[in-house]
Amino acid sequence: MNEKLEKLNQEIAKTEAKLRRAEHKEKMLEHQIKKLNRKERTHRLCTRGAMLESHLPHPESVTDVQVSTLLKILFHRSDIRQLMEKILKINEEDVE
């Protein structure tokens, strides 16, 4: 009876250790996902910021507030909104 109980306790200990390792691995993988998402977002922001700057004459002399105002004005125009809706609709169709 004691041997059986000892074996069960050992099995429990092994299983608990395995569980701890799996939980640790899960946390590491979640951390890697967050890191990759941050890198992807940073790359996207840099790329799109460079695209915007390439269309600005003398981008070094334009302030952040001025760029923000320009973008707000552009994206509130009805023709631009319609164009964006078409682009997004095409993107949705490509995903399907």
If you average pLDDT over every residue of the chain, what do you get? Answer: 95
Domain boundaries defined on the chain: 1-55, 61-96
Q: Provide the pLDDT confidence category of residue 1 given band limits of 50, 70 and 90.
A: confident
Task: Give residue 58's identity as a one-letter amino acid code.
Answer: H
User: Is residue 6 pLDDT above 90, yes or no?
Assistant: yes
Instruction: Tell me how far CA of residue 69 lies from CA of 5, 65, 75, in angstroms.
Output: 73, 6, 10
Coil vs helix vs strand at 62: coil
The answer on pLDDT for 26 being more than 80 is yes
Which pTM does this prediction carry? 0.69
